[in-house]
Structure 1
Amino acid sequence: MGISRGLRIWRMGALVAIGWGLFTITLMHVISSHDPIHDTLSSYTTTDPGLLSASVLALAVGSLAVLGCLAAGGVPLPRTTRVLLSLWALGLATAAVFPASYPPRPDLASGEIHLYSCVVAFASLPAAALTLLEPLRGTAERAVVARWLRFGVAVLVVFGVSFLFARLDEAGLPVHTVTELLPAGATQRLMLVADVVLLLGLIRVAVRVDATRTAAELQPATARD
C-alpha cells in the first residue's frame, strides 16, 4: 500500500512514541510492588515517578504525531477534532508534570491539577473520534473509527463508575462489594488499552485515506500512458 512520504514520517514518529510509552509502563508494572488490579496508575508516583512520567509524556507526544498522521494523510479534520486531540495530549502531559497527591508527601494543589487533567484527557480522545464520524460518512474508514470508539466509550463509562465507587469506598460508604467487582486499577488499565487501540485505529484511517488518494491520483496518469 503506497503512502506519501510525509505520512510515513508521522506514522513512524507516532508508533515509536506510543511504543516507548507502552514499554516504559510495562516495565513499571514489572518492577513495582503495586497491585495492578486495585491501584490506579497515578499511585505509581510514590514509587516509580520517573517511569510513570516518561510513559505518559511519550503517549502525549505519540498522540500529537497521530494528529500529524491524520493531517498528512488527507483525512478531513474539523477544527473541533484538532482541538480535542490537542486537549487529549495536553491533558496527558499536564498529568505527567503534576503528579497525584499521596502520602507521605501530599501536594493537594498538584493532586487537583492531576485529577482534572486526567478528566480532560479521558473525555477528549473519544470526543475527537466522535467528531470524525460525520466527515468520514460514506467511507469504509468511518466503520474503523466507529468500532473502536464504541469500545473506548464503553470502557470509559465502566472506569468512571469504578473510580466513583472507589472514592465512595474511601469515604466510608458501604460500597466495597462494588469496588471488588469493578476494581478501579483494572478498569483504568483496560481504558488505557482502549485509548491506545483507538489511536492506532486513527493511524490506520490516515493510511487508508492517503493510499486511496494516491491511487486516485495515479489512475489518470496511467490512463494517459
Structure 2
Amino acid sequence: MNEGPVIGGLTAGGAAAGSVAGIAGRSAASGRTVWRWPGMAGAALALIATVYAHVAAGHVDPMTTLISDYALLDTSALALVCGTIMLAIGSVWVAYGLAQVDPARSAAARVLFIAGAVGLLLTAAFTTDAAPGTMSAGGEIHRWSAAVVFTALPCAGWMLGKRFRSPALSVVSVLSVVFLATFLAAHPGSLVSDLIHGPEYYGLVQRLLVLSDATVVFLAAMSLGESHGGGKGGEDGEGIVLPLRRRTGTGGPSGEAGASPLLSTAMRPALGIAVQSASRGAAAVQSPASNVTSPCLPMGLGSA
C-alpha cells in the first residue's frame, strides 16, 4: 500500500486546520477595540473651554499674552481649568486604549501620554505668576509642567502616527514641534526673540501649539477604534502561520509548491474516504494470506 499520498494529505489537512485557527486567532486579537469617544470628547471639550475662556476674558490680547493668563481672571479661570482637566482625561483615555489594542508596542507612547496628562493637571493646579518679573515655586511648577506637556504629546503622536500609519497624526505632530520651536524662539528672554520680533506674536504661536496638541489627542483617540494587525504574521506578538508544503511521492517537500489551506479543508472528506478504502484494501490483502500454508509462502510471510 502506498501510504505517502494519504499521510501527506492528512498532514496537509492538519496543517490547514492549524492555519485556519491561527488566522482566526490573529483576527480576534487585532480586532480588539475600545471606545474612542471619551478621548475625542476630552480633546474637543478642552478646545471649546479654551475658546470660551478667550471670549469671557474679553480684553486680553491673544497676540501678546499667554493662555495661562486666563487663569488669573475670575471670568475665565474656571473655563480654562476645566478645559485643561478634560484634555488630561483624554490623554489618560488614549493611554488606556493603547494598552488594550496594542499593549506590546505602545509602551513608550503610553508613558508619554500619561506624562502629558500629569503635566496638564499640574498646570491647572499651579497657576502662572501674575507679574512678569515675579518668580515663585508655583509659577516654576506651572512652567516646567507646561514644558512636559508641549514635549510629550507631539512625541507620542509621532510614534502613533508611524505605528498606525496615520499621515494626519504624523503631520499634526510635526506641526506641533514646529510651533513649539517657534514659541521658544519668540518667547521674551530668548536669544533671538528681539531679532524675530517674538513678543509681538508669541501668544498666537502658543495658541496654535495648544490647538495642535489637542488635535494630537483627538486623532490618537480616533485611531483606537481601528484595527491594527500590522499586516505581517507575528509582528504584533502573534504566532506566524507558515504556508503548507505539498509532499511528493517520496514523502519530502516539493520545493516551492504549496497547498492552499482552503483546498486542503475541502479535501478532508475525500481523505477520510481514502483512509477507509486503504484500510479495507489492507485487510483484503491480508485475509487470503492467512489461508495459505506456510510451505507455499516465502520465509517470514506464513502464519505463526
TM bucket, shorter chain: 0.7 to 0.9
Structure 1 residue 118 corresponds to structure 2 residue 146: yes
Q: Counterpart in 2 of 1:7?
A: 34
Letter in 1 for 2:197: V
- Supply the distance in 1 between the matched residues of 2:225 and 2:172 (Cα, whole angstroms): 16
RMSD: 3.2
Q: Which one of the candidate residues 187, 205, 212 is aligned to 1:194?
A: 212
- Supply the distance in 1 between the matched residues of 2:50 and 2:33 (Cα, whole angstroms): 29
Q: Counterpart in 2 of 1:206?
A: 224
Letter in 2 for 1:167: G
- Supply the distance in 2 between the matched residues of 1:64 and 1:143 (Cα, whole angstroms): 23
Report matched runs for 1:113-152 at 5 Å: 113-132=141-160, 136=163, 141-152=165-176
Letter in 2 for 1:62: G
CA contact (8 A) 1:75 1:206 kept: no
- Supply the distance in 1 between the matched residues of 2:160 and 2:39 (Cα, whole angstroms): 19
Whichever of the two has the greater Rg, that structure is 2
Letter in 1 for 2:203: G
Structure 2 CA distance for partners of 1:17 and 1:4, relative to 1, 3 Å: farther
Q: Which one of the candidate residues 161, 180, 185 is aligned to 1:156?
A: 180
Task: Give the gaps of 5 or more residues in structure 1.
Answer: 214-222
Q: Counterpart in 2 of 1:217?
A: none
C-alpha deviations, 1:43-67, integer Å up to 9, x for none? 1122132222111111111111122
Structure 2 CA distance for partners of 1:130 and 1:210, relative to 1, 3 Å: closer
Structure 2 CA distance for partners of 1:19 and 1:109, relative to 1, 3 Å: same
1:34 counterpart SS class: coil
C-alpha deviations, 1:91-118, integer Å up to 9, x for none? 01101101111149x6711101101111
Structure 2 CA distance for partners of 1:156 and 1:194, relative to 1, 3 Å: same
Structure 1 residue 18 corresponds to structure 2 residue 43: yes
Structure with higher helix content = 1
Q: Counterpart in 1 of 2:289?
A: none
Instruction: Normalising by structure 1, report the TM-score.
Output: 0.75
Runs of 4+ with >6 A deviation: none
Task: Give the gaps of 5 or more residues in structure 2.
Answer: 1-29, 232-261, 266-304
CA contact (8 A) 2:33 2:100 kept: yes
Q: Which moved more, 1:89-98 or 1:64-73?
A: 64-73
Q: Counterpart in 2 of 1:218?
A: none
Q: Which moved more, 1:198-207 or 1:55-64?
A: 198-207
CA contact (8 A) 2:126 2:139 kept: yes
Structure 1 residue 29 corresponds to structure 2 residue 57: no
- Supply the distance in 2 between the matched residues of 1:50 and 1:118 (Cα, whole angstroms): 18
Q: Which one of the candidate residues 87, 92, 101 is aligned to 2:129?
A: 101
Aligned length: 200
